[in-house]
Amino acid sequence: MMRRSLAVVLIMLSAAVAVGAVSSARWERVPAKDHVRINPLTGQPEAAMAGALLYREHCEQCHKANARGDGHKRPSLRSERLRAASDGDIEWFLRQGDLGHGMPSWSSLPEAQRWQVIAYLRSIQ
């Protein structure tokens, strides 16, 4: 009985470590030159306002108006992971998307608009 409980705990711990590794791996894929980029629109309230409109046009349909996702398949954008990411990490991710997991690439948006979305996301954390 004791051995079975220990096995269950070990499996759960391994799973948690694996999930953590996969989650953090998302930002580890970001090239160094992109990781260090800083949002040129930081501190401009108009950028966050414009970003809010862009969010409504392009992101809200999946991530919901409150940016909390659906708690299941559409992830929340008010998360520790997003707060911990650099501006450059998020810009890279928006540009690349994650096609295999349903996140489209937003490279078709002008770069300035991607930075505006990031300014908005920062403002709601």
Q: Does position 68 bind other proteins by CB under 8 A?
A: no
As beta bridge partners, residue 98 has: 103
Asked if residues 54 and 113 have their Cβ atoms less than 8 Å apart, the reply is yes
Tokens of 10: 């070990």
In the chain, the amino acid numbered 118 is I
Give 6 or 40: the residue with its C-beta nearer to other proteins.
40
Tokens of 96: 């690349």
Q: How far apart are CA 49 and CA 55, in angstroms?
A: 10
| Secondary structure (3-state) at 114 | helix
Give the one residue of 50, 91, 118, 122 binding other proteins; rule: CB under 8 A: 50
Q: Does position 20 bind other proteins by CB under 8 A?
A: no
Give the one residue of 39, 82, 89, 91 binding other proteins; rule: CB under 8 A: 82
Number of residues located near other proteins, criterion CB under 8 A: 45
Give the one residue of 35, 37, 81, 86 binding other proteins; rule: CB under 8 A: 81
Asked if residues 119 and 42 have their Cβ atoms less than 8 Å apart, the reply is yes
Binding site for other proteins (CB under 8 A): 23, 26, 46-47, 49-51, 53-54, 57-58, 61-63, 69-70, 72-77, 79, 81-82, 93-105, 107-108, 110-113, 116
